[in-house]
Amino acid sequence: MTYFFITSLLKIVGILFVVILPMVSYSVYAERRVSAFIQDRQGPNRVGPAGLFQPIADMFKLLLKEDFTPRNVNTFYYWLAPCLAVMPAIITIAVVPFGSTLFGVPMVIADINVGILYVFAIASLGVYGIVLAGWASNSKYPFLGGVRSSSQMISYELSLGLAVIPIFLLVGSLRLTSVVRYQIEHGWFIAPFIGDWMNPWKWLLAIPMVLSFVVFAIAIFAETNRLPFDLPEAEQELAGGYNTEYSSMKFALFFLGEYAAMITGSAIMVTLFFGGWHLPLPSWHGGFHWALVDGSAPGWRGVIGGLFNIATFFAKVAVVIFVFMWVRWTLPRFRYDQLMRLGWLFFFEIALVNIFIVAGIIAFLPS
């Protein structure tokens, strides 16, 4: 019991302070560098080598700015909203398996049997921060931003939830570690035919799976309020959106919350579709085959394997985050009615039909 307590505490502290929070601040830096690269500019490159200390400078700037509370706001909720915006994104990471095992300890903070439902439940609480910020600011543009945001999140949560059902039809469990296990044995969900090229059923399965991935990815974009769906903070229309009245560290918390949500969304996407921490390595010991590296080997090999899995997972997450940024700086923003139409008239139906297709395939699939 004490051992479980200590290892859990170490995992929480390690994943939160060593990985997620630095990743949040550096994804802000990466966003600026990537946008600069795409627009043929330089980006922040003054503080430290290649501008690498920019996040620290940004943090000091935001901390030292005057923290101004406007007179007519509803003070308690005005202060509460930034905290509510940043918390859900961070606690969602608790159920994501970010590695195999290290020293025999499974690398997931809470391996509960309703993992993905937990993710959706906590993500659905994220809307409170934004709605409250919009309402408590007592000002029209933030309020419009808050209203937009909540209707957007509610609309896209449906397609998000429906898009992952095909995966759980295949896996037969909502536990995220089981999803990773299944993908190690049967191929990643984004390309189920890998390693089983001769099986036509796997090729057939790839069609609904890719469809499911596309719906899920687009719904994550809408859920995290990223461009092309950043209607809640459309600067040209809403003067900044729900965070207009916020300054200094409270504004920074909204900012951090958005990036943390993006990181968690990418982590969920990697776990569900890209095999989680799994990366097959080619091996020539006794003929060519794909070797599975994990933390189960004895001695230092297991430790190296476990660390390798963790590195693999976060490398995949970083690639997905890069795609998020790439999309942001490539596509223009949707109009609000288009966004709603897209969610309700297309993605919802596609995801729904997709479930039936996968169920049909499973019914005839020779196991």
Partner 1 sequence: MSPFLFWIFALLMLVFGAAVVINRNPVASALSLVVSFLGLAALFMSLDAYFIGIIQVLVYAGAVMVLFLFIIMLLDLRAEEERRINWVASVGGIAVALILLIQILLVIGHFKAARQTFPPLAGSTIDDVRNVGALLFSNYNLPFQIIGVLVLVATIGVVLLSRRDPR
Binding positions for partner 1, rule: CB under 8 A: 77, 112-114, 117-118, 120-122, 124-125, 127-128, 131-132, 135, 143, 146-147, 150-151, 154, 157, 172-175
To the nearest whole angstrom, how small is the minimum distance from the Cβ of residue 42 to partner 1?
42
**Closer residue to partner 1, CB minimum distance, 50 or 121:** 121
Q: Say whether 105 sits in a helix, a strand or coil.
A: strand
Ramachandran bin of 50, using left for φ above 0, alpha for ψ from -120 to 50, beta for the remaining angles: left
To the nearest whole angstrom, how small is the minimum distance from the Cβ of residue 116 to partner 1?
10
CB neighbours (10 Å) of residue 97?
24
Instruction: Tell me the residue length of the chain.
Output: 367
- According to DSSP, the residues that pair with 281 across neighbouring strands are 291
To the nearest whole angstrom, how small is the minimum distance from the Cβ of residue 74 to partner 1?
8
Q: Is the dihedral of CA 292, 190, 358, 166 positive or negative?
A: positive
**Closer residue to partner 1, CB minimum distance, 159 or 312:** 159
To the nearest whole angstrom, how small is the minimum distance from the Cβ of residue 329 to partner 1?
31
Q: Is the dihedral of CA 238, 239, 245, 248 positive or negative?
A: positive
To the nearest whole angstrom, how small is the minimum distance from the Cβ of residue 112 to partner 1?
5
Mention every residue, 6+ apart, whose C-beta is less than 8 A from residue 199: 193
**Closer residue to partner 1, CB minimum distance, 25 or 150:** 150
**Cα first-last separation, the chain:** 40
- Largest Cα–Cα separation, the chain: 74
**Closer residue to partner 1, CB minimum distance, 1 or 198:** 1
**Closer residue to partner 1, CB minimum distance, 143 or 182:** 143
To the nearest whole angstrom, how small is the minimum distance from the Cβ of residue 309 to partner 1?
24
Alpha-carbon span 269 to 246, nearest angstrom: 31
To the nearest whole angstrom, how small is the minimum distance from the Cβ of residue 41 to partner 1?
40
Q: Say whether 81 sits in a helix, a strand or coil.
A: helix
Residue 164 tokens, joined: 């992952």
Where does residue 256 rank: exposed (0-12), middle (13-18), buried (19+ CB within 10 A)? buried
**Closer residue to partner 1, CB minimum distance, 45 or 178:** 178
**Closer residue to partner 1, CB minimum distance, 42 or 113:** 113
**Closer residue to partner 1, CB minimum distance, 27 or 225:** 225
Contact 291, 283 (CB under 8 A): yes
Q: Which amino acid is at 185?
A: E
Alpha-carbon span 293 to 109, nearest angstrom: 21
**Closer residue to partner 1, CB minimum distance, 123 or 263:** 123
Burial 213-243 (b: 16+ CB within 10 A, else e): bebbbbbbbbbbbbbbbbbbbbeeebeebbb
To the nearest whole angstrom, how small is the minimum distance from the Cβ of residue 315 to partner 1?
30
Contact 101, 298 (CB under 8 A): no
To the nearest whole angstrom, how small is the minimum distance from the Cβ of residue 121 to partner 1?
4
Q: Which amino acid is at 184?
A: I
